[in-house]
Amino acid sequence: MIKEFAKHLFPRVVLRENLRFSYTFCLGGLAFTAFFALIVSGVLLLFYYQPTPDRAFDSILFLESTVVGGKYLRALHRLASHGFLCLMFLHILRVVLTGAFRPPRELTWVVGVGLLGLSVFEAYTGYLLPMDQLAFWATRTGMELLATFPGGGWLRAVLVPDGVGESLSLLRFYALHVVIVPLGIMGLSFLHFYRVRKTKGLLPYL
């Protein structure tokens, strides 16, 4: 799978006609590039962020006011997240409009939808981490909405066992945002690129 992933990023041959510019050119690749920017900027943010209710917001203020380039780094992470989600939605829309979800690409489509779901959840878990008023109330609203779905009450108890913004809840959102969900996105990305090559996608040179 990793070998096919590398071949997809660095193909041996590219047809000239497939390099012409279009509005849907390389949306999946651009989304993965934005994801890579999120990883790099997120790792740098880890050097200053403190995942505790009483220190999280202060660490963000320290990053933006004292660290050289800190405000730019946080803005880059936020804008890359917006770009990542927008590119994912556009990529899904392109697949729907071109009918690229039809056999034999059903599994590729299912994996792509799973990637979109994980990406939205990744953005949601990151929203609480600054621990300002907007983050607190947005996350609390999301948790209340989640509780209205079947099984949502159980999932809410798992995510926020001691209430939104409390120490254990913040730690769980932090672990999900930094480690668990990104690993899931990376794994599904490998599988997605592998399936694209397996079914030849829309590109004959694969």
Mean of pLDDT values over 102-127: 93
Extract the tokens encoding 194. Answer: 């592998």
C-alpha distances out from residue 106 to 26, 99, 150, 185, 199, Å? 20, 11, 27, 19, 10
Residue 25 pLDDT: 67
* Alpha-helix runs per DSSP H in the chain: 2-9, 27-45, 56-65, 70-98, 106-127, 133-146, 152-159, 167-175, 181-198
Would you say 170 and 56 are in contact if contact means Cβ atoms under 8 Å apart?
yes
With respect to CATH, is domain 2-9+26-198 assigned 3.20.10.10?
no
Interhelix angle 2-9/181-198, rounded to 10 degrees, is 70
Flag whether pLDDT at 91 surpasses 60: yes
For the chain, what are the domain ranges?
A: 2-9+26-198
Choose the weakest-confidence range: 82-86, 103-107, 147-151, 170-174.
103-107
Choose the weakest-confidence range: 38-42, 161-165, 171-175, 181-185.
161-165
Would you say 188 and 70 are in contact if contact means Cβ atoms under 8 Å apart?
no
Residue 195 pLDDT: 86
**How confident is residue 204, by pLDDT bands cut at 50, 70 and 90?**
very low
C-alpha distances out from residue 176 to 7, 15, 183, Å? 30, 40, 10
**pLDDT tens string 24-63:** 668 888 999 999 999 999 999 999 999 999 999 999 999 9
Residue 18 pLDDT: 64
Residue 205 pLDDT: 43
Flag whether pLDDT at 114 surpasses 50: yes
For the chain, percent of residues with pLDDT exceeding 70: 89
**How confident is residue 119, by pLDDT bands cut at 50, 70 and 90?**
very high
Mean of pLDDT values over 169-188: 96
